[in-house]
Amino acid sequence: MKLLEYEGKEILREVGVPLPEFGGVIDKPAQINSILKRLKKGPWVLKAQVLAGGRGKAGGVKLAKTPLEARAFAKAMVGMKMATHQTHGQTLKVEQVLVEQGVKIEKEFYFSVAIDRKIGSPVLIASSQGGMEIETLAAEHPEAIIKKPVDPVFGLLPFAARALAFELGIPAEHISSFTKVATTLVKLFISKDMSLLEVNPLVLTPKGFVALDAKIVIDDNALFRHEDFASRDDIESSPAEKEAKKHDISYVGLDGNIGCMVNGAGLAMGTMDTIALAGGSPANFLDVGGAANQERVERAFKIILKDPKVKTILVNIFGGIVRCDMIAEGILAVLKKMKLKVPLVVRLEGTNSDKGRETLDRSGTRLMTASSLWDAAQKSVQAAGGKI
Amino acid sequence: MSILLNKDSRIIVQGFTGSAGSFHAQKCMEYGSQIVGGVTPGRGGTTHLDRPVFNTVEEAVKKTGANVSLIFVPAPAAADSVMEAGKAGISLIICITEGIPVLDMAKAKQFLKIYAPQARLIGPNCPGVITPGESKAGIMPGYIHKQGPIGIISRSGTLTYEAVHQLTQKGLGQSTVVGIGGDPIPGSNFVDILDLFERDPKTEAIVMIGEIGGSAEEDAAAFYKAHMKKPLFIFIAGKSAPPGRRMGHAGAIVEGSSGTHASKIEALKNAGAVVIENLSEIGSTVARNFKSVVV
C-alpha cells in the first residue's frame, strides 16, 4: 500500500523526524486562506498529493513567495489533472494539496530504505546529491550513491549511521542530527513493515536535517498487524480491484478486451502473454486461486464483466488437486445462473481434463473448448474481433 | 540421485492438523512420501493420519529422525515456524505458506544463517519439491510427473504444473521439480538450485520458469554462463504486464526500470539459454532440442 506524502509525513512527525512547518491539507482552493492566516511567514510550498514521482516537472510542486501567489497556485492545483513520467500515460486528478512553510536549504541529500531482493534484507541508499530521482542519479552519477545492507533485527546502529554521515561529507556539527534522523527512519521502516521509505530530498538547514518529502510503501502482507494502515482506503486500486480483493481474488485491470480467468498467478501472467502473442490484448490479470469452485468462478465472472471493454472471456484452468470435470460442472452451473453476453473460451488441462471438456461440449451451452492454451488464445482473439 | 528430496527423506509437517496441512500430508503419503509425523503446538501426544503429533519441531526431530519439514502454518506465524525448524536441525525446510510479511522472511533468513547454517529453505509461497517416483513434499498434483532427466525450477505453481504436464506428455520425465516461490525474498533462489542441478548426475537438462520482478533471472544468467554446461530452457512470464502493478505474486512487479521481461530474456539469451516465447511450446521445444543434445 502506497501512502500519500502527507500521510507519510504524519508518521515521520510521530517519531520526531524534523519536517517543514505544516500548514494543512486542502481539497478546496479557498481553504488556503486560513492556512495563510496561521502560517503568516512565507514562502509557502504547495504540493499535489498524488501517488507518483516526478510531480515537480508536471507542475505539482510550487513555491509561493506572496499570499497572492499562494492563492493562485491553490486554485490551479486543486482538481488539476496531472501526468508525470511515472503515471505511464494515465492522468491523475489532484484531490488534495499539502501546504507547508518553505525551509532554507543549505544542501540536499538522498536517503531511502528499501528491500534488496538479492541480499534478502533491507538496504539503505544514500547520496550527497539529493533532489533528483534516484534512477537518474544511478545512471548519471553511480559513484555518488552509497548502499549499505541493513540488519533486519538490529536496524541501523548509531556507529554505522555516523560512519555513513562521514562518508556523505556531512559537516561535523550536523553529524548528530543526521545520525538521529537516519537511525529513526530505519527503525520506523522495520517497525511499520515498510517496503520503501524514501526521503528525497533530506535537506540540511541551518538548524539541522529536515525531511522535505516522504514516499512510503507498506508491505501488503503485513497489513494484518497494522490496523491503522489496513483501515485506510486503498486509493491506488479501482473499484473492481477492491471488490476482487475482498473475495481473495487477485485482479488487475488492463487495457485490452479479452477477459481472463486463470488459476495461479504465474499461469495468469502466462495466459496474458499467450493472448498477446496470438495478436490479442488481455483485459485483465485474474488469479481465481487454487480452488476454482462454482462460487469463485461466479465471483470472477462478475468482476471481469464489470469492465465494459471485455468482448470475450478466456478461462484457463490447470486442474491439479481440483479435477477438471468438477471445474466444468462449476462453470456450467454459473452459466445457468448468469447469462453471459460475450463469447466464452474454456481451456481445461490436468486431472480429468478430457472428461471436463466432454462435459462442457455435451452441455449444449454456447462456449468454445480449446485443446491447448495456444488454441484457446487464438479462439479468444478471433471471438474478440481479430488481431489488434 | 536427484536433488533435495528422495525416497529416504523423512518428512514432518508443521501445521499438520490444520485443513491444508491434513489434506496435503495425506496426498504426499499417497504418493509414497515418508511423512513421519507432524507438529501442532498443544496437540502433542495425539496421532493424526496415523502419524504422531508433537508440540515442537525439536521433539519431532528427536523422536522421528525427520530431516525435512513441510510448513503449512498461516502467514502471521509462518516465519517463526521456519526458524523453529532450522533451530531443531532440519536440513530442508519447505514453506508453502503465502502472504508472509517480507521483513519476517528477512529476519528468518538472517536467523537461519546464524543459528541453522545446515538448513536450506525452499519457498515461501511455493508449491514445494517433488522427486518423481520417490517423494513429494508439496501441494503439486503428483500424477502429472514422471521420472526422468529434466530438472525444473520455477517461481510459480500452476505454471510449473503446466510445464511438467507438457514435458510428461512428450515422454520427458523430471529428475526433481523445485518451486522456489513468488515472494520478493525467497529462501533459495534460481542460482542455488541451478548449482544443485548442474552437479546432479541424473539431471541432463533444466527448465527454468521465471517471471517479472527482481533480478533473480539475471543472476541465474550470469551463473549459467560462468558455471554450467547442461542445456537450459527458459520461459519468463509477464511480458504483457504493465509496469508498477503487482501481478498476484508479491514479487512479480516491475519497479522503475528493474525487473523487466526484456532484461531477463536478454540476459538469459546472451548466456546461452534456449528462450521459449510461447508458453504452449515448453514441451515441444525441450523435446526438439534435448534429443539433439543427448543423442
Q: pLDDT tens for residues B216-243?
A: 999 999 999 999 999 999 999 999 998 8
Per CB-CB distance under 8 Å, the chain A contacts of B110 are 121, 151-153
Asked whether B227 and B135 are in contact (CB, 8 A), the reply is no
Best residue in B240, B247, B263, B282 for a mutation probing chain A (most A CBs within 10 Å): B240
Order across the sheet with A22-26: list the strands.
A22-26, A97-101, A44-48, A61-64
Please provide the DSSP assignment of B72-114 as one string.
---HHHHHHHHHHHHHTT-SEEEE------HHHHHHHHHHHHH
Query: Does A117 touch chain B if contact means CB atoms closer than 8 Å?
Result: yes
Q: Which three cell numbers stand for residue A351?
A: 486431472
- Euclidean distance between CA atoms A148 and A169, whole angstroms: 16
Dihedral sign from CA coordinates of B234, B239, B241, B245: positive
Per CB-CB distance under 8 Å, the chain B contacts of A349 are 162, 165
Q: Which three cell numbers stand for residue B276?
A: 521459449
Cβ <8 Å between A272 and B240: yes
* Band (A295; pLDDT cuts 50, 70, 90): confident
- Euclidean distance between CA atoms A318 and B159, whole angstroms: 9
pLDDT at position B1 over 70: no
Residue B291: the pLDDT is 65
Among B75, B144, B237, whose Cβ lies nearest the Cβ of A350? B144
Nearest to A198 by CA among A206, A189, A208: A189
Average pLDDT value for residue range A328-332: 88
Cβ <8 Å between B158 and A266: yes
Q: Which three cell numbers stand for residue B10?
A: 523423512
pLDDT at position A149 over 60: yes
- Euclidean distance between CA atoms A239 and A279, whole angstroms: 28
Residue A82's Cβ-side half-sphere holds a number of Cα atoms within 13 Å equal to: 30
pLDDT at position A233 over 90: no
Q: How many CB atoms lie within 10 A of CB B118?
A: 12
C-alpha B160 chain-centroid distance: 10
DSSP letter, residue A342: S
Per CB-CB distance under 8 Å, the chain B contacts of A115 are 102, 106, 184-185
Cβ <8 Å between B244 and A266: no
CA distance to A191, A192, A345, B156, per residue, from A188 (Å):
5, 6, 49, 32
Average pLDDT value for residue range B234-260: 89
Asked whether B82 and B121 are in contact (CB, 8 A), the reply is yes
**CA distance to partner chain B, nearest, from residue A272 (Å):** 6
- Euclidean distance between CA atoms A234 and A66, whole angstroms: 36
Residue A236: the pLDDT is 78
Q: Which three cell numbers stand for residue A158?
A: 548509531
Residue B241: the pLDDT is 93
C-alpha B257 chain-centroid distance: 27
Q: Which three cell numbers stand for residue B127?
A: 508449491
Best residue in B80, B100, B102, B219 for a mutation probing chain A (most A CBs within 10 Å): B102
Best residue in A221, A263, A351 for a mutation probing chain B (most B CBs within 10 Å): A221
Per CB-CB distance under 8 Å, the chain B contacts of A373 are 162, 279-280
* B236 contacts: CB under 8 Å, gap ≥ 6: B209, B210, B211, B212, B217, B261, B264, B265, B268
CB-count burial class (<10 Å; 0-12, 13-18, 19+) for B179: buried
Backbone angles phi, psi at B232, to 5 degrees: -125, 125
**CA distance to partner chain A, nearest, from residue B227 (Å):** 19
Average pLDDT of every residue of chain B: 95
Q: What is the pLDDT of residues B18-55, one digit of tens each?
A: 999 999 999 999 999 999 999 999 999 999 999 999 99
Query: Does A372 touch chain B if contact means CB atoms closer than 8 Å?
Result: yes
Residue burial A9-29, b: 16+ Cβ < 10 Å; e: rest: bebbeeeebbbbebbbbbeeb
Cβ <8 Å between B106 and A222: no
Type of residue found at B30: E
Dihedral sign from CA coordinates of A71, A76, A78, A83: negative
Q: What is the pLDDT of residues A26-81, one digit of tens each?
A: 999 999 999 999 998 889 999 999 988 888 888 899 999 999 999 999 999 999 99
Q: Measured in Å, how far apart are chain A's first and last C-alpha atoms? A: 34
DSSP letter, residue B241: P
Average pLDDT of every residue of chain A: 92
Cβ <8 Å between A285 and B219: no
Catalytic residue among A110, A241, A251, A349: A110
Among B101, B240, B279, whose Cβ lies nearest the Cβ of A373? B279
Residue B295: the pLDDT is 40
Query: Does A330 touch chain B if contact means CB atoms closer than 8 Å?
Result: no
- Euclidean distance between CA atoms B202 and A19, whole angstroms: 61
Give percent above pLDDT 90 in chain B.
Answer: 90
- Euclidean distance between CA atoms B96 and B73, whole angstroms: 8
Backbone angles phi, psi at A21, to 5 degrees: -55, 125
C-alpha A286 chain-centroid distance: 17
Beta strands (DSSP E) in chain B are: 10-14, 34-39, 47-48, 51-54, 68-71, 92-95, 120-122, 128-131, 135-138, 147-154, 174-179, 205-211, 232-237, 274-275
Per CB-CB distance under 8 Å, the chain B contacts of A88 are 242-244
- Euclidean distance between CA atoms A33 and A50, whole angstroms: 22
Nearest to B67 by CA among B120, B24, B128: B120
Angle separating helix axes A158-167 and A175-191, nearest 10 degrees = 120
Total-model pTM: 0.93
Average pLDDT value for residue range A111-128: 95
Give the ipTM of the model, two decimals please.
0.92
Per CB-CB distance under 8 Å, the chain B contacts of A118 are 214-216, 219
Per CB-CB distance under 8 Å, the chain B contacts of A290 are 139
Q: What is the pLDDT of residues A151-177, one digit of tens each?
A: 999 999 999 999 999 999 999 999 999
Please give the residue of chain B at the shortest CA–CA distance from A376: B280
Please give the residue of chain B at the shortest CA–CA distance from A249: B248
Q: Is A198 a catalytic residue?
A: yes
* A216 contacts: CB under 8 Å, gap ≥ 6: A2, A3, A7, A8, A11, A194, A196, A197, A198
Asked whether A326 and A363 are in contact (CB, 8 A), the reply is no
Average pLDDT value for residue range B255-266: 89
A80: left (phi over 0), alpha (psi -120 to 50) or beta: beta
Q: What is the CA radius of gyration of chain B?
A: 18
Q: How many CB atoms lie within 10 A of CB B293?
A: 12
- Euclidean distance between CA atoms A252 and A244, whole angstroms: 9
Per CB-CB distance under 8 Å, the chain A contacts of B250 are 220-221
Using the structure block, give the residue that is written with the C-alpha cell 488437486: A321
Please give the residue of chain A at the shortest CA–CA distance from B235: A270
Cβ <8 Å between B247 and A275: no
Interface of A with B in 123-142 (CB under 8 A): 135
- Euclidean distance between CA atoms A235 and A241, whole angstroms: 11
* Lowest model confidence (mean pLDDT) among A178-182, A263-267, B148-152: A263-267
Cβ <8 Å between A265 and B156: yes
